[in-house]
Amino acid sequence: MKILKTKQEVKQQLFAHRKAGQSIGLVPTMGALHEGHLKLVKNAMSATDIVVVSIFVNPTQFNNPADLEKYPRTVAGDLDLLEKEEVDYVFLPEVEEMYPQPTALTVDFGNLERILEGAFRPGHFNGVGVVVSKLFHIVQPDKAFFGQKDLQQVAIIRRMVEDLSFGVEMVVIPTCREKDGLAMSSRNGRLSAIDRQRAVILYDSLVQARKELLAGKSWFEVQKEISHKFNEEPGVKLEYFELVRTNSLEMISEIDLKAPMEGQKSSICTAAFVGDVRLIDNLSI
């Protein structure tokens, strides 16, 4: 496994592989790797010839400086995990390498970035769009691998790939969960023992809501029940709990149980603070 620190090193190393006709897979991460990331890596290794994992905590997607400061950084452990997986390359740039000067360009994803996460984290998806486009230009992957847990991020990047004609295929991998259902996240390590127990409310609420919707309950009733459930749980603060069309993220208030499943593609999305840690999750219907 080779560690690459600069854009030039990446281009030099991958040139020979590209010339030999080998396919290249990219797994973009912000480090603090867990089993969910490794699942992306394993999928990349089975689907492409050469795998590049990037580790970069992108400052431009944090609208809260305190959140950036607290974001877990475990580079030594991350590199050990990736070496065990026999990853080919790790791109580990410094901030100055990715942003030699402040970026003047801004990316506006329209309504896609103004709802759900975008409503609570202004500027977040501009930062995501800029850094992912940089990684796509630097690595020029044939396939890029993302987790379903970040549903809105997936929708944003898919839109960017389509609108800007990036020659990359997006591969979306189902959310990895702990045994009790909590979606794996780098932020989970910041939860206290009691907050870790409380955090299961996100997944439990998603499962409950899906079950009740499929049983014919109205979304208004379901949403009201779930809001009450969060209000009753100490140390937990719900930010949103919404029903959306999976690809467009258009908010909807009902699902058509008679429509073909292929035409449905709806998801329930949620975000909540558990203690001082903000967690997100979603579940498809």
Q: Does residue 149 sit in the same domain as residue 27?
A: yes
Tell me the average pLDDT across 207-217. Answer: 96
| Listed residues 128, 149, 173: the one ending a domain | 173
Is residue 257 pLDDT above 90, yes or no? no
**pLDDT for 256:** 74
113 and 194 co-located in one domain: no
**Residue-range definition of the domain harbouring residue 247:** 186-280
Judged against a pLDDT cut of 70, whether residue 203 lies above it is answered with: yes
Q: Which residues are annotated as a binding site for beta-alanine?
A: 61
- Same domain, yes or no, for 166 and 103? yes
- CATH number of the CATH domain containing 93: 3.40.50.620
* 33 part of a folded domain: yes
Instruction: Among 146, 173, 200, give the residue marking a domain's end.
Output: 173
Domain of 227: which CATH number?
Answer: 3.30.1300.10
Q: At what angle do helices 219-232 and 201-214 cross, to 10 degrees?
A: 160
105 and 81 fall within a common domain: yes
* 193 and 162 belong to one structural domain: no
Task: Count CA atoms within 13 Å of residue 250 on its CB side.
Answer: 8
Binding residues: 30-37, 61, 147-150, 153, 184-187
pLDDT at position 18, please?
Answer: 96
- For residue 258, the model assigns a pLDDT of 67
Asked whether residue 200 carries a pLDDT value surpassing 70, the answer given is yes
Is residue 69 assigned to a domain? yes
The mean pLDDT of 215-229, rounded to a whole number, is: 97
159 and 26: one domain?
yes
Whole-number average pLDDT of the chain: 95
Distance between the two ends of the chain, CA-based, in angstroms?
A: 40
Q: Is residue 178 in some structural domain?
A: no
Band the pLDDT of 264: cuts 50, 70, 90: low
Per-residue pLDDT tens for 156-174? Answer: 999 999 999 999 999 999 9
Residues 138 and 39 in one domain: yes
- Nearby residues of 79 by Cβ (< 8 Å), 6 or more positions away: 1, 3, 90
Instruction: Specify if 181 maps to a domain.
Output: no
Same domain, 102 and 222: no
* Residues designated as active site: 37
Please check whether residues 139 and 12 belong to one and the same domain. yes
Identify whether residues 46 and 159 lie together within a single domain.
yes
Residue 167 and residue 49 in one domain: yes
Residues 114 and 219 in one domain: no
Q: Pick the residue with more confidence: 177 or 263?
A: 177
pLDDT digits (tens, 9 = 90+) for 33-84: 999 999 999 999 999 999 999 999 999 999 888 889 989 999 999 999 999 9
Number of independent structural domains in the chain:
2
